[in-house]
Amino acid sequence: MSGNEWWRGAVFYQIYPRSFFDTNADGIGDIKGITQKLDYVASLGVDAVWISPFFKSPMKDFGYDVSDYRDIDPLFGTLADFDALLEKAHIRGLKIIIDLVLSHTSDQHPWFTDKTKKDWYVWADAGKDGDPPNNWVSVFGGSAWEWSAAHNQYYLHNFLKEQPDLNYHNQEVQNEALDICRFWLDRGVDGFRLDVVNFYFHDQKLRDNPPRDPALGSATQFEGDDPYSRQAHIHDKSQPENLAFIKRLRQLMDKYPGTMTVGEIGDDHPYERAAEYTSGNDHLNTCYNTHMMNGKQKEIAAATFREPVETFLKYPGESWPSWAFSNHDVVRAASRWHPDKGGFSYDPRLSKMLIALLVCLRGTVFLYQGEELGLPEAKLDFNDLQDPWGKHLWPEWQGRDGCRTPMPWKNAPHAGFSTGKPWLPVPEEHKALSVDHQDVDPNSVLSFTRKFLRWRKTQPDLMRGDIDFIDTGNDKILAFWRGKMLCAFNLGDKEKSLNIDGKELSLAPYGFLPDANG
C-alpha cells in the first residue's frame, strides 16, 4: 500500500515474538524467526506487521517492563537482526510498526536507580498511618503504590510493582520519550503501537478515584469482581495534559512521512477517548480499542459489533477507528464466542465468519497470530502458567497465557515452533490446526483467510467506504452496507434468513456475505 495514509483500511498482523518461531532452540521465539517466516506473513495478504515488545527487559511482564528502549533483549536477538528484518519486510511490501511501552519502565531500568532522575517517576509520601497516598489500584491487583525503604516514599505502578510509572509532568521525561521514538524512526520503522497511551499522565493532586458505575461493566479483560473494576478511573489516567504531549509526538511523526501511530486505549469511556485522541490532524492517526475483545466468554450478538462501531462514529470529526477481535492479552475469539461454555472449543465455520466480519468493518484491522488458523484458546495447568496476572487470578481465570502459546507450524513435536522445550506448552488441538496441515487444505481457515484478504484489496468500498447498519430484527444477524456492498453475517449455528428490499436471503450456520468467490 502506498501513500502517507496507507494505514487507512490496512490489515495488520500482530506478532508476539516470544511465541512466533524459535531459531536457536531455547524455546523462545526470536527476531530471526520472524524474518524466516516473512514469506508466510506476506502470503496472508496483510499490509503491515505489529511486533510486540522485544526491548531489553527482565521479563517480569514479558517485555512490557523495559530496561533499555534502544536495544534488543538477547532472548530475541540483536539490533542487526532487527535491521535485517526491517529490510526484508520492506522488500516484501510489508510495513513494520513496533510496540512502544512509554507509560512505565522496568524497576531495573537505569533511570529508576539513578538518584538524579528520581523525579522521572511518580513518588509520594505515605498517607495516614503509613498507608498508600490514595486509593488507586493496580490493573493486576492490589494497591497501585509500592513502598521504597530507600526513598522512604511510595512510587506509582499502574501494573506490576516491577513497572514503575514515568512522570510525564516532567518535561525531561517527555523529551526522552520523543528521542526514543526518533531512534526507531531513524532505523526505518513505519510507526508505533503505543501501549496504554492514555496512562502517561496522572492527577498531580493524587485525588482518590470515586466508585465506579456498575453499568460500565468490567474495567479489565477479567470480568470477575476485581478491585480495579470498582473504581471510576478519572484521576489515575486519561488526564487532559496527555493531549498536549500527543501533539508533540504527532509533530515528530510528521517529520517522517508515511509513518503512523496507533494508540491502545483503556478507559471507562473508551469511544470518547479514542475519538478525542485521534481528532484532527495533530493527534494519533488511529486508536486500537478493546471494545470487541473483553470477557472470558461472551454470547455473540449483532450488538457486540454494531454498538462499538456506531458509538465511535457518533463523535464529531473524522477520526479513523481500528478494530480487533483477539490479541496477546485476551481469550482467543474462536473460543470466546463459541457457544460451548467450556471456553476452549472452536468451529472453523465460526473462525472464517469472524475473519470476514472483521475485515468488512470500516476501519483498520488487526489480526493476531494464529487467528488465521482459527486457533482456540489453549487450556493450561497452573504449573504451566507464566503470566503473573493469571497466577494471581487462578483458578477463576488462567490469565493471558492461553492466547500466547507457540504458533503451530507443523503437526510435530513442539508444533515445529522450536527444537527445544517451548516456554509454554503447545496443546494437541493446535497441532492438528498447524500451518503445514492447513496449507494444503483448500477449505481450511488459513486458505480462506488468504483468499478473502486478497479479494478485499480489490474492493474500494471495503477498504475505505462508509458503513450503514441494517435493522435485521434478529440479534443473530448482523448486516450493513459498505458503500454499495451488502455485508451480512449469521452469528449463530442455525440457518437464518434475511429480507433485504423484498429479497429473501438465506444464510447458512455462520454463513456470510460478501463471498470472495463472487
Q: How far apart are CA 289 and CA 266, in angstroms?
A: 7
**Sign of the dihedral through C-alpha 417, 82, 8, 276:** positive
Give kind and range of the element (H or E) at residue 65. Answer: none
Same structural domain, 250 and 119: no
Q: What is the pLDDT of residue 396?
A: 86
Q: How far apart are CA 267 and CA 150, in angstroms?
A: 33
What SS3 class is residue 116? helix
Q: What is the pLDDT of residue 223?
A: 63
Same structural domain, 350 and 490: no
Same structural domain, 352 and 471: no
Domain boundary among 439, 456, 473: 456
- Cβ atoms of 157 and 163 within 8 Å: the answer is yes
Same structural domain, 75 and 17: yes
Q: Please check whether residue 166 lies inside any domain of the structure.
A: no
- Cβ atoms of 317 and 279 within 8 Å: the answer is yes
Q: What is the pLDDT of residue 318?
A: 81
Same structural domain, 433 and 414: yes
Q: If DSSP states are collapsed to H, E and C, what string results for 441-498?
A: CCCCHHHHHHHHHHHHCCCHHHHHCCEEECCCCCCCEEEEEECCEEEEEECCCCCEEE
Same structural domain, 328 and 418: yes
- Cα–Cα nearest to 496, from 513, 517, 515: 513
Q: Report DSSP letters for 212-233, one per residue.
A: PPGGG--SSS--S--GGGGB--
The CATH number given to whatever domain includes residue 498 is: 2.60.40.1180
Catalytic residue among 81, 107, 195, 377: 195
Same structural domain, 320 and 359: yes
Kindly tell me if the per-residue pLDDT of 297 is higher than 70: no
Same structural domain, 118 and 97: no
Q: What is the pLDDT of residue 217?
A: 77
> Is residue 73 flagged as an active site residue?
no
Average pLDDT over residues 87-104: 98
pLDDT band per the 50, 70, 90 thresholds, residue 296: low
Q: Please check whether residue 305 lies inside any domain of the structure.
A: yes
Placement of cell 479513523 in the chain: 320
At 462-505, the pLDDT tens digits run 999 999 999 999 999 999 999 999 999 999 999 999 999 889 99
Q: What is the pLDDT of residue 450?
A: 98
At 1-26, the pLDDT tens digits run 568 999 999 999 999 999 999 999 99
- Cβ atoms of 262 and 277 within 8 Å: the answer is no
Q: How far apart are CA 82 and CA 88, in angstroms?
A: 10
Q: Please check whether residue 18 lies inside any domain of the structure.
A: yes
pTM, full prediction:
0.96
Same structural domain, 88 and 115: no
Q: How far apart are CA 122 and CA 166, in angstroms?
A: 6
At 48-65, the pLDDT tens digits run 999 999 999 999 999 999
Q: Please check whether residue 1 lies inside any domain of the structure.
A: no
Same structural domain, 351 and 476: no
Same structural domain, 372 and 252: yes
Q: What is the pLDDT of residue 218?
A: 78
> Residue 288: what are its φ and ψ, rounded to 5°?
-100, 120
pLDDT band per the 50, 70, 90 thresholds, residue 345: confident
Average pLDDT over residues 409-429: 96
Catalytic residue among 22, 99, 165, 264: 264
Q: DSSP state, 128?
A: G
Q: Please check whether residue 122 lies inside any domain of the structure.
A: yes
Q: How far apart are CA 32 and CA 251, in angstroms?
A: 33
Residue with the bigger pLDDT between 341 and 304: it is 304
Q: How far apart are CA 117 and CA 346, in angstroms?
A: 50
Q: What is the pLDDT of residue 231?
A: 95
Q: What is the pLDDT of residue 342?
A: 60
pLDDT band per the 50, 70, 90 thresholds, residue 343: low
- Cα–Cα nearest to 162, from 57, 17, 271: 57
Dihedral angle computed from the Cα positions of residues 126, 129, 132 and 137, in that order, rounded to the nearest 10 degrees? -170
Q: What is the pLDDT of residue 317?
A: 78
Domain boundary among 128, 156, 184: 156
Q: How far apart are CA 435 and CA 409, in angstroms?
A: 5
Q: Which domain holds residue 508?
A: 465-513
- The strand pairing partners of 366, in sequence order, are 12, 324
Write the burial class of residue 19 (CB in 10 Å: 0-12 exposed, 13-18 middle, 19+ buried): buried
> Is residue 203 flagged as an active site residue?
no
Domain boundary among 456, 484, 501: 456
Q: What is the pLDDT of residue 225?
A: 72
Kindly tell me if the per-residue pLDDT of 247 is higher than 60: yes
Mean pLDDT of the chain: 94
Same structural domain, 142 and 264: no
- Please state the separation of Cα 130 from the chain's center in Å: 38
At 157-190, the pLDDT tens digits run 999 999 999 999 999 999 999 999 999 999 999 9
- Cβ atoms of 422 and 384 within 8 Å: the answer is no
- The strand pairing partners of 288, in sequence order, are 264, 322
How many domains, in total, are found in the chain? 3
Q: Which residues, 6+ apart, have CB-to-CB distance to 56 below 8 Å?
A: 66, 67, 68, 71, 72, 73, 74
The CATH number given to whatever domain includes residue 297 is: 3.20.20.80
Average pLDDT over residues 432-438: 97
- Cα–Cα nearest to 178, from 102, 244, 114: 102
The CATH number given to whatever domain includes residue 123 is: 3.90.400.10
